[in-house]
């Protein structure tokens, strides 16, 4: 079976914000939406053409269900397309890219969107025994950032990807051709030169 050639036709990202900084009023989905709309505009691709959305996102607590589907709806993409959220810690956005690449290469879709989005500021505090109740004594509130064991920047980024054939049909000039993907992570003891195994 011959794989389709896959190309990137548009990109965008938000600035990387500081914790509790100027982007604090924006939810994770808001940040992702800014990047998605920018990438689609930069590519010259109408949202109605997007058949699949994969969004890497770790801190989903309090963000409501499936942030990728929220992006799809808010960006006015067809509701009939796939939209799924990937949580693989630091590698979530990279895995979203790989999944969209595979769908395009295997002819499951012709236009896809890979997104990475996060907001540490909006990661909530957790009251872990709140549902069953505290009968006596003190309760403990947990910071979900520390409890879940991850500290990432807050930002959004998006790539519009499609088959080369579809790009040619639409008269779009590819920015890059995806020739391969790889799964690799640095051992946690050398974290800093690359992502840890996810």
* pLDDT score, position 51: 98
Q: Has residue 183 got a pLDDT over 70? A: no
**CA quadruple 11, 12, 17, 20: dihedral, nearest 10:** -110
The confidence score (pLDDT) of residue 63 equals: 83
Thinking of the domain 6-190, which architecture would CATH place it in?
3-Layer(aba) Sandwich (3.40)
Comparing C-alpha atoms, which of 96, 100, 107, 109 is closest to residue 4? 107
% of residues, the chain, pLDDT over 90: 55
Please tell me which residue, 20 or 97, carries the higher pLDDT value.
97
CA distances from 113 to 23, 52, 116, 160, 187 (A): 23, 6, 10, 5, 30
Cα–Cα distance for residue pair 55/102, rounded to 1 Å: 15
pLDDT at 61: 80
Predicted TM-score (pTM) of the model is: 0.83
Predicted confidence (pLDDT) per residue in 47-74, tens digit: 999 999 999 998 888 889 999 999 999 9
Whether the predicted pLDDT of 188 surpasses 60? no
Under the banding of pLDDT at 50, 70 and 90, the label for residue 43 is: very high
Flag whether pLDDT at 15 surpasses 60. yes
Within 13 Å and on the Cβ side, how many CA atoms surround 66?
11
Given this model, what pLDDT does residue 5 score?
Answer: 97
Q: What confidence tens digit (pLDDT) does each residue in 156-178 have?
A: 789 999 999 999 999 999 999 99
Q: Taking 90 as the threshold, does the pLDDT of residue 115 lie above it?
A: yes
């Amino acid at each position: 079976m011959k794989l389709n050639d896959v190309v990137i036709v548009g990109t965008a990202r938000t600035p990387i914000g500081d914790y509790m900084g100027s982007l604090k009023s924006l939810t994770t989905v808001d940040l992702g939406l800014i990047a998605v709309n920018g990438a689609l505009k930069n590519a010259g691709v109408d949202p109605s053409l997007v058949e699949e959305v994969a969004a890497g996102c770790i801190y989903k607590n309090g963000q409501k269900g499936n942030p990728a589907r929220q992006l799809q709806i808010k960006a006015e993409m067809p509701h009939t397309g796939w939209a799924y959220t990937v949580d693989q810690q630091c590698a979530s956005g990279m895995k979203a890219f790989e999944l969209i690449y595979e769908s395009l290469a295997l002819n499951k879709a012709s236009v896809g969107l890979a997104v990475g989005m996060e907001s540490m500021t909006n990661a909530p505090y957790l009251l872990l025994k709140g549902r069953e109740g505290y009968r006596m004594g003190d309760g403990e509130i947990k910071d979900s950032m520390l409890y879940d064991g991850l500290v990432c920047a807050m930002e959004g980024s998006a790539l519009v990807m499609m088959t080369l054939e579809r790009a040619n049909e639409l008269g779009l000039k590819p920015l890059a051709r995806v020739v391969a993907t790889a799964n690799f992570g640095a051992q946690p003891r050398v974290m800093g030169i690359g992502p840890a195994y996810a």
